[in-house]
Amino acid sequence: MTERRTQRARDPEARRAALAAATMEVIAEAGVGRTTHRAVAARSGLPLGATTYYFPTLDDLIAAGLRHATDQLRADLDEWARRLAAAPDLPAELTELTREYLADRRQVRIEYELCMAAARDAALRPIAEVWMNELPEILEPTVGAEAARDICALLDGIILRALVMESDLDAPGLTAALRRLIA
């Protein structure tokens, strides 16, 4: 009697999500102009045929990647909003959220690469605009429009500095600066 090898079922949604995530990584590293089905397949570990099966055109693939990144960023900001709304100490909570964000340097680099790419490519701007518009909107009801804008500029600078200098977050310094901005 011969044994039949059972083929493992494929999860189409998991494949789509893996391809979308890989697309954003390729875009962040190489730019939209160098993003190809082949590069995304290699990054995702899936066969080249999967990229064209799920996303027939390169525009479809890039659009899926952008949706994925935007959805992920919105989910992260929803979590920030939830935690900030419940925080007894807003500056301390913002510092903790920033520390947690910086813990995954690889992801932070990808997101900042995408922001830089958005400066060159209008198709990528919706991702950058989510961060640049929604975080101030979360903060504004509590601290006012000017302080919200200033806090976001401070956080962007602190995060960028930590990335470039490969340094740890100066949590006490950030908390103190946030207290001055909110006062």
Nearest-angstrom CA–CA distance, 123 and 63: 9
Q: What is the mean pLDDT of residues 78-107?
A: 95
Kindly state the greatest CA–CA separation across the chain.
79
Per-residue model confidence as pLDDT tens digits over 4-18: 444 345 789 999 999
Whole-structure pTM value: 0.79
User: Is residue 174 scored above 80 in pLDDT?
Assistant: yes
List domains and CATH numbers for the chain: 12-182 (1.10.357.10)
Q: What is the pLDDT of residues 20-68, one digit of tens each?
A: 999 988 988 887 888 999 999 999 999 999 999 999 999 889 888 888 8
Report how far residue 88's alpha carbon sits from residue 92's, in angstroms, rounded to the nearest whole number: 9
d(C-alpha 77, C-alpha 11), whole Å: 28
Dist CA 28 CA 110 (whole Å):
5
| CA gyration radius, the chain | 20
Task: Dump pLDDT digits (tens) for 99-140.
Answer: 999 998 888 887 787 788 778 878 778 877 887 899 999 999
Q: Distance between CA 101 and CA 59 in Å, rounded?
A: 30
User: 93 pLDDT band (50/70/90 cuts)?
Assistant: very high
- What lies within 8 Å, CB to CB, of 41 at 6+ separation is 22, 47, 48, 50, 51
pLDDT at position 94: 97
- Please tell me the predicted confidence (pLDDT) of residue 146: 96
Task: Write down the pLDDT at residue 73.
Answer: 84
Query: Which pLDDT score is estimated for 8?
Result: 40
